[in-house]
Structure 1
Amino acid sequence: MTDHVILFRERQRFKQFWLWIILLGAATVFWAGFIYQVILGGQFGNRPVSDVQLAILLGLMGVGMPWFFYKMNLSTEVRPGEIQLRFWPFHVKPKIIPLHLVRDFEQVIYNPIGDYGGWGIRWGFKGKAYNMSGNEGVKLYFYNRKPLLIGSQDAPALYEAIKLAKELR
């Protein structure tokens, strides 16, 4: 019965303003090219592709790429005895971290670019990280592998939930 109790739940999305400027700026180039070449009848670029190829590129880069980044999310759930992480679309099923494998954990403020090379699922010299935005999280230390950082917009609540989940297991 206690397996269904959720002590903490968070779903994060990419919120970085600069990321959306880049994504939407790139999508706008494909939209402009499509409108100019297919609808207005001009030639887009020095070596234009066919209208069909441009329509495919518009679908992939002008619609698909922004939609992909909009739908991408990191779900974190803390339950008694475990943490479930799911970074959609890369994890079909949640990655389950049994808390009996966690030696210690701490709430941290980190440098996403300097420590892990950015946001997302990242590997660095300091271990692995799952993060979407911000610079706060909880770092898990294991008995037999490198540390794992879980980024959170509410790191104190995540820390307290992990503490309680470890006691309840």
Structure 2
Amino acid sequence: MEIIFRERQRFKQIWLWVVIFGVSGIFWAGFVYQVILGGQFGNRPVPDVMLTIMTGLVGVGLPLFFYRMSLVTEVVPGELRARFWPFLIKPVTIVLHELRNYEKVTYNPIREYGGWGIRGSMKGNAYNVYGNEGVKLYFYNQKPLLIGSQKADDLFNAITLAKQQKG
């Protein structure tokens, strides 16, 4: 099937990566100090094996998890697909003829949806990872869904084209 639009987004917020690498760095510092240099990290240090496991999970796993996390949005004739890996392994498929309306929007992610990610609020649901633009989809029988995008104009135009083509 022809892909009209495809976008892969990742978390790019500097503050988020500072927190992730800060937490990761604490575990790495403890690992180096206690396991490699032979000191005691903290007042009640954990065993070296436990610290090694925790450093692997948090020191390596946490940054890798956030690096791999992504929102992939695809528009094909008649459908929009959104996949937020690793939380939505199977893409959410929206049949475009079931839309009541849609619009390009600029929004405040924190105030309107409580942040980025897979979010729900009184205004509807949102899939977003970065920025403050997207396309809001209105349905006949459910809450609106906002798809965040760094290319909101292109996404809007692709939905318009795909809705006309109807797969």
Instruction: Give TM class, smaller chain.
Output: over 0.9
Q: Which ranges of structure 2 fall in alignment gaps of 5 or more residues?
A: none
- Which residue number corresponds to residue 166 of structure 1? 163
Residue 135 (structure 1) shift: 0.1
Distance 2:91 2:102 in 1: 20
Matched, 1:108 2:109: no
What amino acid sits opposite 1:69 in the alignment?
F
Distance between the aligned counterparts of 1:149 and 1:91, measured in 2? 16
Provide the C-alpha distance between the structure 2 equivalents of 1:132 and 1:92, rounded to a whole number of angstroms.
Answer: 16
Q: What's the counterpart of residue 7 of structure 2?
A: 10
| 129, 151, 154: which one aligns with 2:148 | 151
Secondary structure of 2:20 counterpart: helix
**CA displacement, residues 136-162 of structure 1 (integer Å, 9 cap, x when unaligned):** 000000000000000000000000000
Shift of 1:108: 0.1
Match status 1:69 vs 2:66: yes
1:124 is displaced (CA, Å) by 0.8
> d(CA) in 2 for partners of 1:38 and 1:51?
6
How much does 1:94 deviate?
1.2
**Structure 1 partner of 2:57:** 60
CA deviation digits over 1:83-116, x for unaligned, max 9? Answer: 0111011122211111121100000000000000
Match of 2:117 among 108, 115, 120: 120
Identity in percent = 66
Instruction: State how far apart, in whole Å, the 2-side matches of 1:96 and 1:116 are.
Output: 21
User: How far does the alpha carbon of each residue in 1:38-65 deviate from its partner, in whole angstroms, 9 at most, with x for none?
Assistant: 0111110111100011011101100000
1:121-140 mapped onto 2 (5 Å cutoff): 121-140=118-137
Amino acid at match of 1:81: G
Q: One-letter code of the match for 1:7? A: I
Two-structure CA RMSD over aligned residues (Å): 0.6
**CA distances 1:8-63 after superposition (whole Å, capped 9, x unpaired):** 00000000011001100110000000000001111101111000110111011000
TM-score, normalization by structure 1: 0.97
TM-score (norm 2): 0.98
- Correspondences of 1:33-48 after superposition (within 5 Å): 33-48=30-45
Match for 1:28: what amino acid?
A: G
Segments of 4+ moved more than 2 angstroms: none
Report the count of equivalent residues: 166
